[in-house]
Amino acid sequence: MRAWIGFGALALAAMLLGTRADAGTGPVKVQWYVTGILKFTLTPNYNTGYGPVPATFGTQPTPAPGAGACFQGCADDFGTVIQNGQYLYKYAAHLHVITNDVNGFQVYGEGSADFSDGGSNSFPVNGSLYYLSSGATSDSNTGFTPSLEFFKTSGTVNPSTPVFGSAPTITYGAYPAPMFTSVAATNDYYQDYQLKVPATAPVSTSEYFVWVVYTVVPQ
Amino acid sequence: MTRLRVTLIALLAVAIGLAVGGRSNAGFVQQQRDQIAISILVNVTPAPVADRGGVPFPIDWRIAMRARGSAPADMVAQAQSAIRVQAMVSPNPNATMLYSNVPNVVINQTAGTTASTAACVYTITVDTPAATSWTLKDGLSSDFITSTWPGKDVGNNTYVQAGTPQPTATPFVVYSTDGSTWNPKEKSNGKQTYCVTLTITIPSSVPGGAYTTNAVYTLYY
C-alpha cells in the first residue's frame, strides 16, 4: 500500500514538474518502505522414521512413537519411558524460516514450563529435555550424541499455566540466548530431541507434557 | 621314554590350566546392567587477540547498515510456534542402581587455558545389594571437535566421596575414537558414591561457542 502511495506521489510530482519545466531543475528525494516478511513453519515428526529410541551405542532400535505423534504433525510423543531412562527422539522438529531482512534472523527455543502431568506432578524441563541437529532425511544421532538443553522460559507465558490441548505464547521483555542465528534471509533447521528422565520423576497415570515454544525475530 | 613322559605331563598341566582358567573366567563374566550419561557443556570464550587498530567496516557492511537504518517501522516483530512434547513415566526398579546427582555440568572457560571445575562437580552412585561385586566403567561419548579438540583433553579425578582426591586427574577414554571401549574405573560391591572433579584443556584454536560431550558410566556385574 505504501509503495503505491509513494508511486502516486512521485507521479504527481512528475506532473507538477512537467507543467513547470521552465522552473529549473533540483534534487528529488525519493523514499519508500518495504513491508517486512517473516514466515515461520514448524513441523514436528517431519520425516518418516520419526519417534523415540532408547539411548544405546551401536545398532539403533527402530523408533516407536507414542500414540500422540503423527507424521508431520501432532506432538512429539516419547510414549512410555522409565525413570532414569535416556531417549533420542528422531526427526522431532523442522523449522523453516523466510524473511526479507538483509541481516537474517534469530531463533529462540524454550520450554514454556516444566514437564507437568496437568495435576500436582512435575519435573524440570532443564536437565531433562535436550535438542541437537538432525538431517532432513537421514539421522545418525544416538541418545548419547552431544546436545544442548532446553530451559524453562523467564518470559511471560500465556496462559500462565500451559494446558495440554493448546499452545501457549511467550511474551519477552528480553530475549534469551538465541538457539540459532542466521545471516541468510531464509533457512531450515532440523532437530532431534533427547529426554533424560530424572530418577526422581514422579510416576503418573497422566501424560507429562511441555510446550516447546520457538520464536523467530528478524535481526 | 623320559621325553614322552615329560611331554605327557606338560600336556596334562596345560589341560588342567585351561580347564581351571576357563571355569574362573566364566565365574567372573560380568554383564552390562545400567548406563547413564552426564552432559558436559563448555562455553568457550575465544582466546584474546592483539588489537590491530580500528579496522573500518567493509563497504558492503556499511551499505547493509544504511539499508537497515531506513528499514520500515512496520517490520513484523516476531513469529512464534510451539510443539508439545509428551511422555508417560513408568517406574523403574533399577532407577537407583546407577545415578548421578546432576544431569549435566556447565563450564565457562577461555580457549588456550587449562582449568579445573569445583571439587566434586558431580557424583556417581552405584547402589546394588551388598554381596554384588561390580565394575564401573567410564569414558566420553565423543570428542568436542574431531581432531582439533579431543575428549582426552578432559581429565577426571574420581575418588570415593568419603575419601580424598587422587593426586592427579586422568584423561577420559573416548568411546567413538578409542575402539568403542570403556575404561574400567572402579571395582567394588554394594553401595558406593564417587566424586568427580574435571580438569579441562581448551586449545587456543577453538573458536568461541558452546561445545558438548557426555561422560558415560556403565555398570557391570
**More confidently predicted of B22 and A33:** A33
Of B71, B82, B216, the CB nearest to A214: B82
A94/A71 Cα distance (integer angstroms): 12
How much is the CA Rg of chain A, to the nearest whole Å? Answer: 24
Cβ-Cβ contacts under 8 Å, A50 against chain B: none
C-alpha closest to that of A110 among A207, A40, A179, A45: A179
What cell numbers appear for B126 in the block?
A: 552405584
Tens-place pLDDT, residues B125-160: 999 999 999 999 999 999 999 889 999 999 999 999
pLDDT of residue B64: 44
Q: Report whether pLDDT(A9) > 90.
A: no
Tens-place pLDDT, residues A186-216: 999 999 999 999 999 999 999 999 999 999 9
Cβ-Cβ contacts under 8 Å, A76 against chain B: 83-86
What domains does chain B contain, in order, with CATH numbers? Answer: 36-46+95-221 (2.60.40)
Model ipTM value: 0.86
A134/B63 Cα distance (integer angstroms): 35
pLDDT of residue B21: 42
Q: Which residue of chain A has the CA closest to B78?
A: A217
Q: Give B16 to chain A, closest Cα distance, Å.
A: 38
Contact A199 B91 (CB under 8 A): no
Cβ-Cβ contacts under 8 Å, A82 against chain B: 89-92, 95
Cβ-Cβ contacts under 8 Å, A39 against chain B: 79
Tens-place pLDDT, residues A143-188: 999 999 999 999 999 999 999 999 999 999 999 999 999 999 999 9
Classified as helix, coil or strand, B70 is coil
Of A57, A78, A217, the CB nearest to B87: A78
Tens-place pLDDT, residues B26-80: 446 889 999 999 999 999 999 887 555 555 545 444 444 434 434 443 445 799 9
pLDDT of residue B18: 44
pLDDT of residue B61: 45
Which pTM does this prediction carry? 0.80
Contact A144 B216 (CB under 8 A): yes
Q: At CB < 8 A and 24+ separation, what contacts does B168-172 make?
A: B169/B116, B169/B197, B169/B198, B169/B199, B172/B138, B172/B139, B172/B140, B172/B215
